[in-house]
Amino acid sequence: MSKAAFRQGGWPGIRARLFHGYFLLSRPMTLGVRAVVHDRNGHKVFLIRHTYVPGWHLPGGGVEKNETVVQALTRELSEEGNFQLLAPPLLRSLHFNRHASPRDHVAVFLVEDFRQHLAKAPDREIADSGFFALDELPEMTTPGTRRRIAETFEGAPVSEYW
């Protein structure tokens, strides 16, 4: 699948580029978190589809001022999936996301001890979400998401790049 299939056009794409521009001006480096939320019973992972960018992604987002990466991950998982962490997440990898900006890094955590008190209903940010079997990921799962899943479950070498 071409990279163009995962680029957002129109107003949502402009909005995303404006936010990245703002972050470049307001922060010397951006840091994000993503979670591989793994349901061990069904050997499935939780993915989300945003309203403002195409493709299926691991849940996560930016680390805000005065926030640790674990606090950011906890907040994002609550917002994007109605998850509560029952044990500390395991830091799996750190990646330079040069596609987002020349200053962006993403920490990837494995989350296996959690509770989802309610399935996530679509809203202004999340168009869809759900658990998917590792061998039945949605067709539009982004390449970066596929690589993180392969690194986590298939023993693929961990890339320093997103």
Q: What is the pLDDT of residues 123-133, one digit of tens each?
A: 999 999 999 99
Between 12 and 117, name the one with better pLDDT. Answer: 117
Return the residue matching tokens 């307001």: 26
User: In which band, very low, low, confident or very high, does the pLDDT at 13 lie, cut at 50, 70 and 90?
Assistant: confident
Mean pLDDT, the chain, as a whole number?
92
Tell me the domains of the chain and their CATH numbers.
Answer: 29-153 (3.90.79.10)
pTM value? Answer: 0.84
Q: How far apart are CA 100 and CA 27, in angstroms?
A: 14
Q: How far apart are CA 73 and CA 81, in angstroms?
A: 11
Q: How far apart are CA 48 and CA 45, in angstroms?
A: 10
User: In which band, very low, low, confident or very high, does the pLDDT at 27 lie, cut at 50, 70 and 90?
Assistant: low
Q: How far apart are CA 134 and CA 23, in angstroms?
A: 33
Q: What is the pLDDT of residues 49-86, one digit of tens each?
A: 999 999 999 999 999 989 999 999 999 999 999 999 99
Got the DSSP string for 103-146? TEEEEEEEE-SEEESSPPPP-SSEEEEEEEETTS--TTB-HHHH
**Residues near 57 by Cβ (< 8 Å), separated by ≥ 6?**
34, 47, 48, 49, 50, 142, 144, 145
Q: What is the pLDDT of residues 77-117, one digit of tens each?
A: 999 999 999 999 999 999 999 887 788 999 999 999 999 99
Is 21 a residue whose pLDDT tops 90? no
